[in-house]
Amino acid sequence: MSVVDKALETQIRNIQARTGKTLDQLHGVIRASGLTRHGEIRDMLKRDLGMGHGDANTLVHTYAQSSAPAAATGTAPAGVVLDEIYSGAKAHLGPIHDRLLAAIERFGPFEIAPKKGYVSLRRKKQFATIGPATKTRVEVGLNMKGVEATTRLIALPSGGMCQYKVHVTAAEDANPELVAWIRHAYDSAG
């Protein structure tokens, strides 16, 4: 089982504990709503069950994975997303992703929200993104303040998803310096 699959499994257990409902019961709530679009279902879960954005998003993904109309909702489970973004010429970048997530899992609980070409990592808010930027490197986006940019920690223009980015070309580049920056972003996200 990959690091991402383990994190997703933990998040699903936490969702069940917080809602007091089994995964089947939660999927039943979605079915009973009659909603079919990802955003509508996510918003209903947030409104009706008081779920956080990341938990609701993940639940919609698990529902889509377990039901036939997955293509209609435009969702894909984390493993499928990772298989797609780390395939072909980018396949050799997968171990970098796995190493980063293994380090981040030691911080504590967080949510993984798969996107089309990357994953968003969230607590109360997004603290990082990880995904291949090119065929030769993974880009780690970081949301944090009060950190001085360096040649490695590249400041981004304001108004974007992240304040900084770091290019990672080999698993050994996921070193203590990068992990410390990610930890700072993690702690700042609540």
For residue range 170-186, list pLDDT tens digits in order. 989 999 999 999 999 99
Cα separation, 18 vs 93, in Å, equals 35
Could you give phi then psi for residue 106, rounded to 5 degrees? Answer: -70, -20
65 and 84 inside one domain: no
CA-wise closest residue to 54 among 103, 117, 101, 7: 7
User: Would the pLDDT of 42 be above 80?
Assistant: yes
Q: What is the mean pLDDT of residues 137-164?
A: 92
CA angle 184, 129, 150 (to 5 degrees): 55
52 and 91 inside one domain: no
Could you give phi then psi for residue 173, rounded to 5 degrees? Answer: -75, -15
28 and 89 inside one domain: no
86 and 28 inside one domain: no
86 and 177 inside one domain: yes
Query: What three-state secondary structure class fits 77?
Result: coil
**How many angstroms from the chain centroid is the CA of residue 33?**
26
User: Would the pLDDT of 71 be above 60?
Assistant: no
Which of 33, 50, 75 terminates a domain? The answer is 75
Q: Has this prediction a pTM greater than 0.85? A: no
135 and 181 inside one domain: yes
Query: What three-state secondary structure class fits 9?
Result: helix
pLDDT at residue 70, as a whole number: 35
User: Would the pLDDT of 129 be above 60?
Assistant: yes
101 and 45 inside one domain: no
Assign residue 75 a region (left: φ > 0; alpha: ψ between -120 and 50; beta: otherwise).
beta
Which of 58, 75, 92 terminates a domain? The answer is 75
**Spatial contact of 100 and 166, defined as CB atoms under 8 Å apart:** no
Q: What is the mean pLDDT of residues 74-95?
A: 72
84 and 69 inside one domain: no
Which of 75, 93, 126 terminates a domain? The answer is 75
Cα separation, 156 vs 140, in Å, equals 12
Q: Which helix (H) or strand (E) holds 129?
A: strand 126-132
Q: What is the mean pLDDT of residues 162-167?
A: 94
- Which tens digit of pLDDT belongs to each residue from 110-126? 888 888 788 889 888 99
Residue 27: HSE in the Cβ half-sphere, 13 Å Cα cutoff: 12
56 and 102 inside one domain: no
pLDDT at residue 179, as a whole number: 95
Give the 3-state secondary structure percentages of the chain, helix then strand then coil, rounded to 5. 55, 15, 35
Domain that holds residue 38: 3-75
65 and 124 inside one domain: no
Question: Lowest-pLDDT range, 32-36, 57-61, 69-73?
Answer: 69-73
176 and 93 inside one domain: yes
Into how many domains does the chain fold? 2
84 and 13 inside one domain: no
